[in-house]
Amino acid sequence: MNFRPYVSRRFLVAFTAMVILFVLLVSASVRLVHSEGQFSDDITEDMVWLASQGQYEAVRLADALAGYARGDVDRDGLQLRLDILVSRILILEQGEPRRLMEALGHSHDLDGYQHVLDLSAQTLEDLDPRDANRIAELRTGIFSLAQSLRDVSNAALLAKRDRDAQLRDLRRRTLFEILSTLVATMVTGLILAGVVVRDQRNMANAEAALERERQISKLHRAFISVVSHQFRTPLAIIDASAQRMMRRGALMRYEEISARAEKIRNACLRLTRLMESTLNAARLEEGEIGFTLRPCNLESLLQGVCESQPEQDQDRIRIELGDLPQWLQADTTLLEQAVQNLVSNALKYSPEGSTITIHAQRTGTEIEISVTDQGVGIPADEIGSLFQRFFRARTAQGIPGTGIGLNFVAQIMVLHRGFVDVKSAEGEGSTFTLRFPYRPTGSLASPLPHAVPQPAS
């Protein structure tokens, strides 16, 4: 897994694609601007307008010649019309208009225009209104010039139409390229964002998994430390009692031998319970402990749990039975271990001489078994973590324990399709309640998959 998304292969590919698309977008935009400039230039240097103006002025000069012959136009008016026509032709002979005339294939006509204009200027110097032949000849030349300008105008119009069509196609293609590039850029950006988000999520998941591994490793080290300490204490008791018995030998009185033997026995029982709780939790986690429903007498089960406690603690336990059926279906072995864990915890975390109450009843379709103590209690902010494996509340410091008992109880309840409810106040005591469905003798049930439920508060 790559923990640096900004150098991942997917990120680099997507980023390179975005750079290429950006370059294409800039290139298409430049072509669009260039085509718009060309379109504007064509409008500015419009040969259709220039040629049409020249044709119009040539026709007006020819009309002025006819008016001159009739006496309607004087020589100054005739000269004015000629000067205007000359100015129009001069525009066509210079700069961009001349280049366009050459592009249209009419550049050779410019010499003819100049010849007609020079002839007209010379003729007007001594033209008599009554000289009909000279006027007719001059009008013919002027009309020929107008005809040529009309051809130029038509050719320019057709060329302009073709040019505009090409520019429109170019602009359409460029706009399509820009839109396509924009869409591709957006898609690539989304892919890039997805890559970054995915890599960030993977990195976050990896960091979370690493943190979980650190926590589990920390809990395992704490568990090993606690278990080693728990084993060391009863072993030390056994060793000390055995050494004293060996040193005193036959000098020991029966009462002393009995007391030492009782200490050894209690230490052995403590070791046995510790090993059983550790092994059972591991077996249940690995699915090696089966779940089998069988008829169960709950009253006898609770009495057996009470009698299995140390003799000095049995008088502290009070059993209260409510409306309870004589028989029900449960895995007797696992249910007994669950209650045994709760009762052992209650005795361990309560002051000596305080009372432990076991209350069992049927409530509707559920069986409830609660164990109440007057012990150290559980901090409110730690109740949610109480059933995690190896977890121990801060109020349990200095009290022997491994942190696997309540997790084992919770898993047993899951197999019974129930859960564990806990109510506690720090320094005032706790009540743990097992709740699971009531199954009459003869009913069928199947276990659920292994899971650890969250306790109800």
pLDDT in tens, 149-173: 888 888 888 887 887 788 788 778 8
What pLDDT score does 248 carry? 79
Q: Do 308 and 176 share a domain, yes or no? A: no
At 266-278, the pLDDT tens digits run 778 767 766 766 6
Conformation bin of residue 281: beta by default, left when phi > 0, alpha when psi is -120 to 50: alpha
**Average pLDDT score over residue span 224-229:** 56
What pLDDT score does 447 carry? 43
Rounded percentage of the chain residues whose pLDDT exceeds 90? 12
Edge-to-edge strand ranges of the sheet holding 317-321? 317-321, 356-363, 366-372, 429-437, 419-425
Write down which residue in 139, 163, 198 finishes a domain: 198
Residue 433 has pLDDT above 90, yes or no: yes
Structural domains counted in the chain: 2
At 86-106, the pLDDT tens digits run 888 888 888 788 888 888 888
Give 318's pLDDT tier (boundaries 50, 70, 90). very high
Q: Do 181 and 291 share a domain, yes or no? A: no
Using an 8 Å Cβ cutoff, are 61 and 53 in contact? no
Does a structural domain hold residue 28? yes
Distance separating alpha carbons of residues 413 and 341, to the nearest angstrom: 13
Q: Which of the two residues, 130 and 400, has the higher pLDDT score?
A: 130
Burial 235-245 (b: 16+ CB within 10 A, else e): eebbeebeeee
Q: Which of the two residues, 177 and 91, has the higher pLDDT score?
A: 91
What pLDDT score does 381 carry? 81
Q: Which of the two residues, 297 and 105, has the higher pLDDT score?
A: 297
Q: Which of the two residues, 194 and 335, has the higher pLDDT score?
A: 335
Does a structural domain hold residue 42? yes
Distance separating alpha carbons of residues 224 and 431, to the nearest angstrom: 28
Residue 438 has pLDDT above 90, yes or no: yes
Write down which residue in 198, 226, 254 finishes a domain: 198
Does a structural domain hold residue 259? no
Task: Give the CATH number, domain containing residue 361.
Answer: 3.30.565.10
Does a structural domain hold residue 13? yes
Q: Do 179 and 294 share a domain, yes or no? A: no
Main-chain phi, psi angles of 456, to 5 degrees: -80, 145
Q: Do 57 and 191 share a domain, yes or no? A: yes
What pLDDT score does 445 carry? 44
Residue 142 has pLDDT above 50, yes or no: yes
Does a structural domain hold residue 414? yes
At 228-259, the pLDDT tens digits run 655 666 777 788 888 888 887 778 888 888 88
**Average pLDDT score over residue span 295-320:** 87
Q: Do 183 and 311 share a domain, yes or no? A: no
Give the residue carrying structure tokens 């010849």. Answer: 115
Residues 6+ apart with CB under 8 A from 239: none
What pLDDT score does 214 carry? 77
Give me the residues paired with residue 292 across strands: none
Please, what is the average pLDDT of the chain?
79
- The Cα-based distances of 26 to 88, 179, 289, 352 in angstroms read 42, 12, 70, 85
**Average pLDDT score over residue span 2-21:** 64
**Average pLDDT score over residue span 202-225:** 72
- The Cα-based distances of 119 to 66, 113, 114 in angstroms read 17, 10, 9
Distance separating alpha carbons of residues 48 and 261, to the nearest angstrom: 127
Closest CA relative to residue 393, chosen from 232, 450, 405: 405
Residues 6+ apart with CB under 8 A from 217: none
Rounded percentage of the chain residues whose pLDDT exceeds 70? 79
User: Which domain range does residue 321 map to?
Assistant: 282-437
What pLDDT score does 230 carry? 54
At 353-402, the pLDDT tens digits run 889 999 999 998 999 999 999 888 888 888 877 777 777 776 666 566 66
pTM for this model (two decimals)? 0.44
Using a 10 angstrom Cβ sphere, with 0-12 exposed, 13-18 middle and 19 or more buried, the burial of residue 457 is exposed
Q: Do 25 and 162 share a domain, yes or no? A: yes
Main-chain phi, psi angles of 296, to 5 degrees: -135, 130
Q: Do 301 and 176 share a domain, yes or no? A: no
- Lowest model confidence (mean pLDDT) among 15-29, 102-116, 223-237, 401-415: 223-237
**Average pLDDT score over residue span 396-415:** 77
Give 431's pLDDT tier (boundaries 50, 70, 90). very high
Q: Do 192 and 286 share a domain, yes or no? A: no
**Average pLDDT score over residue span 326-330:** 91
What pLDDT score does 31 carry? 64
Write down which residue in 157, 175, 198 finishes a domain: 198
Does a structural domain hold residue 228? no
Q: Dihedral sign, CA of 64, 69, 74, 78? A: positive
Does a structural domain hold residue 275? no
Q: Do 43 and 146 share a domain, yes or no? A: yes
What pLDDT score does 59 carry? 92
Does a structural domain hold residue 394? yes
What pLDDT score does 359 carry? 94
What pLDDT score does 341 carry? 85
